[in-house]
Protein backbone atom coordinates (compact mmCIF):
# COMPACT_ATOMS: atom_id res chain seq x y z
CA UNK A 1 0.00 0.00 0.00
CA UNK A 2 2.93 2.33 0.69
CA UNK A 3 4.18 1.90 -2.85
CA UNK A 4 0.75 2.85 -4.25
CA UNK A 5 0.45 5.84 -1.91
CA UNK A 6 4.00 6.93 -2.81
CA UNK A 7 3.16 6.66 -6.53
CA UNK A 8 0.02 8.73 -6.04
CA UNK A 9 2.01 11.36 -4.10
CA UNK A 10 4.59 11.62 -6.88
CA UNK A 11 1.86 11.89 -9.51
CA UNK A 12 0.17 14.63 -7.48
CA UNK A 13 3.42 16.53 -7.12
CA UNK A 14 4.03 16.36 -10.90
CA UNK A 15 0.54 17.69 -11.61
CA UNK A 16 1.02 20.48 -9.06
CA UNK A 17 4.33 21.44 -10.68
CA UNK A 18 2.69 21.58 -14.13
CA UNK A 19 -0.15 23.71 -12.80
CA UNK A 20 2.24 26.06 -11.01
CA UNK A 21 4.38 26.52 -14.13
CA UNK A 22 1.28 27.21 -16.23
CA UNK A 23 -0.07 29.69 -13.68
CA UNK A 24 2.93 32.00 -14.17
CA UNK A 25 1.43 33.21 -17.45
CA UNK A 26 -1.94 34.07 -15.89
CA UNK A 27 -2.99 37.62 -14.92
CA UNK A 28 -2.58 38.70 -11.28
CA UNK A 29 -6.32 38.74 -10.40
CA UNK A 30 -6.77 35.15 -11.60
CA UNK A 31 -3.74 33.92 -9.67
CA UNK A 32 -5.06 35.60 -6.52
CA UNK A 33 -8.44 33.91 -6.95
CA UNK A 34 -6.69 30.56 -7.46
CA UNK A 35 -4.61 31.11 -4.32
CA UNK A 36 -7.74 31.94 -2.30
CA UNK A 37 -9.52 28.86 -3.68
CA UNK A 38 -6.56 26.65 -2.74
CA UNK A 39 -6.54 28.09 0.78
CA UNK A 40 -10.26 27.39 1.19
CA UNK A 41 -9.87 23.86 -0.20
CA UNK A 42 -7.03 23.05 2.19
CA UNK A 43 -8.96 24.51 5.13
CA UNK A 44 -12.05 22.48 4.23
CA UNK A 45 -9.96 19.33 3.88
CA UNK A 46 -8.34 19.81 7.28
CA UNK A 47 -11.63 20.45 9.11
CA UNK A 48 -12.94 17.40 10.95
CA UNK A 49 -16.16 16.20 9.41
CA UNK A 50 -18.86 16.11 12.07
CA UNK A 51 -22.11 14.28 11.57
CA UNK A 52 -25.17 15.26 13.54
CA UNK A 53 -27.57 12.57 14.64
CA UNK A 54 -30.93 13.28 16.21
CA UNK A 55 -32.26 11.43 19.18
CA UNK A 56 -35.32 9.24 18.73
CA UNK A 57 -36.27 9.09 22.38
CA UNK A 58 -35.28 10.12 25.90
CA UNK A 59 -34.73 7.20 28.26
CA UNK A 60 -34.79 7.67 32.04
CA UNK A 61 -32.28 5.41 33.76
CA UNK A 62 -31.15 5.61 37.39
CA UNK A 63 -32.50 9.13 37.76
CA UNK A 64 -30.66 10.39 34.68
CA UNK A 65 -32.10 11.20 31.27
CA UNK A 66 -30.28 9.52 28.39
CA UNK A 67 -30.77 10.09 24.68
CA UNK A 68 -31.62 7.01 22.63
CA UNK A 69 -30.41 7.25 19.03
CA UNK A 70 -32.12 4.02 17.94
CA UNK A 71 -29.96 1.90 15.69
CA UNK A 72 -32.76 0.34 13.62
CA UNK A 73 -34.29 3.69 12.54
CA UNK A 74 -37.79 2.37 13.26
CA UNK A 75 -37.85 -0.13 10.39
CA UNK A 76 -39.52 -3.10 12.02
CA UNK A 77 -41.36 -5.86 10.14
CA UNK A 78 -44.59 -3.89 9.72
CA UNK A 79 -42.76 -0.81 8.44
CA UNK A 80 -40.93 -2.87 5.86
CA UNK A 81 -44.13 -4.56 4.74
CA UNK A 82 -45.89 -1.19 4.57
CA UNK A 83 -43.16 0.10 2.27
CA UNK A 84 -44.26 -2.47 -0.33
CA UNK A 85 -47.90 -1.28 -0.30
CA UNK A 86 -47.41 1.34 -3.04
CA UNK A 87 -45.81 -1.28 -5.27
CA UNK A 88 -48.67 -3.71 -4.65
CA UNK A 89 -51.21 -0.95 -5.37
CA UNK A 90 -49.43 -0.10 -8.61
CA UNK A 91 -49.39 -3.70 -9.83
CA UNK A 92 -53.06 -4.16 -8.88
CA UNK A 93 -53.98 -0.94 -10.70
CA UNK A 94 -52.13 -1.99 -13.85
CA UNK A 95 -53.82 -5.40 -13.77
CA UNK A 96 -57.23 -3.73 -13.38
CA UNK A 97 -56.57 -1.38 -16.29
CA UNK A 98 -55.49 -4.30 -18.48
CA UNK A 99 -58.65 -6.23 -17.55
CA UNK A 100 -60.89 -3.25 -18.38
CA UNK A 101 -59.14 -2.72 -21.72
CA UNK A 102 -59.55 -6.41 -22.61
CA UNK A 103 -63.26 -6.25 -21.76
CA UNK A 104 -63.72 -3.09 -23.87
CA UNK A 105 -61.96 -4.69 -26.83
CA UNK A 106 -64.10 -7.83 -26.52
CA UNK A 107 -67.27 -5.70 -26.39
CA UNK A 108 -66.22 -3.78 -29.52
CA UNK A 109 -65.57 -7.03 -31.40
CA UNK A 110 -68.92 -8.42 -30.25
CA UNK A 111 -70.72 -5.32 -31.53
CA UNK A 112 -69.04 -5.64 -34.93
CA UNK A 113 -69.87 -9.35 -35.10
CA UNK A 114 -73.52 -8.79 -34.17
CA UNK A 115 -73.79 -5.96 -36.73
CA UNK A 116 -72.38 -8.24 -39.42
CA UNK A 117 -74.76 -11.06 -38.53
CA UNK A 118 -77.88 -8.85 -38.38
CA UNK A 119 -77.07 -6.76 -41.45
CA UNK A 120 -78.59 -7.48 -44.86
CA UNK A 121 -75.20 -7.47 -46.58
CA UNK A 122 -73.19 -10.66 -46.80
CA UNK A 123 -69.85 -10.65 -44.92
CA UNK A 124 -67.99 -10.94 -48.24
CA UNK A 125 -69.18 -7.42 -49.14
CA UNK A 126 -67.06 -5.92 -46.36
CA UNK A 127 -63.91 -7.48 -47.87
CA UNK A 128 -64.60 -5.96 -51.30
CA UNK A 129 -62.44 -2.83 -51.91
CA UNK A 130 -65.21 -1.27 -53.97
CA UNK A 131 -67.59 -1.55 -51.02
CA UNK A 132 -65.17 0.43 -48.83
CA UNK A 133 -65.16 3.17 -51.48
CA UNK A 134 -68.97 3.01 -51.50
CA UNK A 135 -69.04 3.54 -47.71
CA UNK A 136 -66.68 6.53 -47.98
CA UNK A 137 -68.94 8.22 -50.55
CA UNK A 138 -71.22 10.65 -48.61
CA UNK A 139 -73.88 10.68 -51.36
CA UNK A 140 -74.41 6.93 -51.06
CA UNK A 141 -75.04 7.20 -47.32
CA UNK A 142 -77.53 10.11 -47.52
CA UNK A 143 -80.96 8.64 -46.54
CA UNK A 144 -82.94 11.65 -47.87
CA UNK A 145 -82.51 10.66 -51.52
What is the model's pLDDT at position 94? 97
What is the model's pLDDT at position 107? 93
Q: Which of 75, 70, 45 is nearest to 59 (CA)?
A: 70
57: which residues sit within 8 A by CB, 6+ positions away?
A: 67, 68, 70
Q: Give the model confidence (pLDDT) of 52-110 as tens digits.
A: 666 556 666 676 766 655 555 556 788 888 888 999 999 999 999 999 999 999 999 89
What is the model's pLDDT at position 51? 63
56: which residues sit within 8 A by CB, 6+ positions away?
A: 68, 69, 70, 74
Compute the distance between CA of residue 81 and CA of residue 84 in angstroms, rounded to an integer.
5
For residue 63, the tally of other CB atoms under 10 A from its CB is: 5
DSSP 84-141: THHHHHHHHHHHHHHHHHHHHHHHHHHHHHHHHHHSSS-HHHHH-HHHHHHHH-TTTT
What is the model's pLDDT at position 58? 62
- Using the 8-state DSSP alphabet, how is residue 58 labeled? E
Distances (CA, A) of 120 to 125, 126, 132, 141: 10, 12, 16, 15
Question: Cβ distance 126 to 116 under 8 Å?
Answer: yes
Question: Cβ distance 140 to 134 under 8 Å?
Answer: yes
What is the model's pLDDT at position 61? 65
Amino acid sequence: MTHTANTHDQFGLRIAAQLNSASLALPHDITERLRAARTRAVAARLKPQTRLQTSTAVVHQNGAALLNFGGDEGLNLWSRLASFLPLIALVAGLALIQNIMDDDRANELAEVDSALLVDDLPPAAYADPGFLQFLKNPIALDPQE
